[in-house]
Amino acid sequence: MPHIDNLLFSLLIYIGSFFAGLLGSLTGLGGGVVVVPMLTVLFGVDIHFAAGASLISVIATSSGSASAYVKEGYSNIRIGMFLEMATTIGAVAGAMVAGILSANAISIIFAGILVYSAFSSILRRKGNVTYSDEDKYAKLLKLKGEYPTGNGMERYSVRNVPFGFGLSSLAGVMSGLLGIGGGAIKVIAMDRIMKIPFKVSTTTSNFMIGVTAAASAGIYLKNGFIHAALVMPVMLGVLTGAFLGAKVLTTASSKTLKAVFTVIILVLAFEMLKNGLK
State how far the Cα of 10 lies from the Cα of 21, in Å rounded to an integer: 16
Structure confidence at residue 133 (pLDDT): 64
pLDDT of residue 82: 92
Higher-confidence position of 78 and 262: 78
125-129, 179-183, 184-188, 232-236: which is most confident: 232-236
Give the tens place of pLDDT for each residue, 41-94. Answer: 888 888 889 989 988 887 876 766 667 777 778 888 899 889 989 998 888 888
State how far the alpha carbon of 60 is from the alpha carbons of 64, 65, 105, 185, 232, in Å: 6, 9, 27, 20, 11
The tens digit of pLDDT for each residue in 96-133 reads: 888 788 878 888 888 887 787 677 656 655 544 444 56
Q: Which residue in 196, 168, 197 sits closest to 181, CA to CA?
A: 168
The pLDDT assigned to 130 comes to 47
pTM given for the model: 0.73
